[in-house]
Amino acid sequence: MVKHIVMWRLLDAAHGNSAEANARLVKEKLEALRGRISGLISIEVGIDFSRSDASADIVLYSEFVDRRALEGYQAHPEHEALKPFIGGATSERRLVDYEC
């Protein structure tokens, strides 16, 4: 199994929305991929409430059957379609992929 975790810090405003509104939209858009991509076991998106200097604004936690499934997710058209929106709302992105 592969776990794919991504954390974003969002811009204060982007796409005509506040960071809070964009966080909700990112959550909705990513969670809408559930059940639509082969090999994606689970997907969860959390919005930070701590608002500390060390925190990210939003986190994606997802599990895949293997590395090949993660690669398929990355290239999947529905995932690709989200990248411009998320990228345009993001000031910083960090990720970790690991096998367990």
Residue range 17-30, pLDDT digits in tens: 999 999 999 999 99
Angstrom distances, CA of residue 68 to CA of 23, 48, 58, 60, 64: 28, 30, 25, 19, 9
Structure confidence by residue, pLDDT tens digits, 37-96: 999 999 999 999 999 999 999 999 999 999 999 999 999 999 999 999 999 999 999 999
- By residue range, what is the domain housing residue 8? 2-99
Nearest in space to 42 (alpha carbons), one of 30, 50, 54, 55: 30
The helix/strand/coil state of 93 is: strand
Global pTM reads: 0.94
pLDDT at 40 (0 to 100): 98
CATH number for position 63: 3.30.70.100
As for how many domains the chain has, the answer is: 1
Where does the pLDDT of residue 1 fall: very low under 50, low under 70, confident under 90, or very high at 90 and above? Answer: very high
